[in-house]
Amino acid sequence: MNKPETFKFPPKVRLVAKKIAEAADTAINAYVRGEVSDEPAITDRWIGAVAGASETAPGRYSRRTTGIFWRAKTLRSSSGRAAEESRHGADLLGVADIHIGDKVVRKGFLGQAKRCEMGEVFDSQRWNQLELQVDQMLTRSAASFVLIYSKQHGIRFVPAISVAGYGRRDLFALNSMSLRDFFELHLACFIGDRRLSAAHIKTLDDLLDLEVLRDYPIKNVLHLMIRSEEPRT
C-alpha cells in the first residue's frame, strides 16, 4: 500500500512513527547479533521497545493537541484453551489510542510474524501453516498482516489477504511496507479495525464467538432504535 501522494501526515504522527521505527530497529539489531533468534523473542523485544518509545499513558489533551498511546499483546502458543495463537492465527494484537483533544479513536491490527530473507522460499509445510494462520486472522479482522523479520530488511508488513491463496511461497514477492510506513498509515487512521480496541485476548475470543454464530440459521432480526426528543412546550 502506497502513501497517498497528496496527503501530508500530521507532524505528531510522523514523529511517533519515526520513534517507533527506531525503537523496533533495536530488536532487529539484537536478532542480527544473535541475542534473540525466534519469532516470539523478536516480537517481545520490539513490542517492549515500541511501548517505551510511545507515550506511557493516555491523558487529557487540549483541542489542538494530539496524543498517541500504543500497546500490544502477544498471543500464547501453548496447548488447550491457553493456545491463543492457534485459536486465532495471530501472535500479535496491537492497539492504538489516538487522542485528538477530547476525542479518542481506538483501533488495532493482527499480526503473524515469520523470519524470512529475500529470495527465501518456504517449504510446503511451513507455507500451509501460514495460509491457515492467515485464514484464521482474516475471519477476525481484515486488518491482519504477516510481519517479516529480516536481518537485511528489518521488519516489513505484508497484508494477510495477499498471502491467502498465493502459491509461490515467497513473502518478499508480495507487496510490503516498512514498519515506519505502516505506523504512519496506522496512526493516521488509514489502517486499523475499531473492533480491535483492547489489547486483550477477550477481544479476539468475542470475535470468534460472533463468527460461530454465522453458522446458525437466524430467521428473524430485531432492530431497536431509540430516539430522544425534547418535550413540547
Question: pLDDT confidence of 62, banded at 50, 70, 90?
Answer: very low
Report if residue 43 sits inside a domain: yes
**pLDDT for 178 beyond 90:** yes
Grid cell at residue 44 = 517481545
Half-sphere exposure of 82 (CA within 13 A, CB side): 4
Report if residue 6 sits inside a domain: no
Report if residue 206 sits inside a domain: yes
Q: What mean pLDDT is predicted for residues 193-214?
A: 72
Report if residue 231 sits inside a domain: no
In this predicted model, which residue has the larger pLDDT, 203 or 2? 203
Q: Structural domain tally of the chain?
A: 1
Report if residue 228 sits inside a domain: no
Report if residue 99 sits inside a domain: yes
Q: What is the pLDDT of residues 198-208, one digit of tens each?
A: 777 788 777 77
Residue 50: the pLDDT is 84
**Distance between terminal CA atoms of the chain?**
56
Report if residue 233 sits inside a domain: no
∠ at Cα 117 (115, 121), nearest 5°?
Answer: 90
Distance, in Å, from the CA atom of 90 to the CA atom of 110, rounded to the nearest integer, reads 6
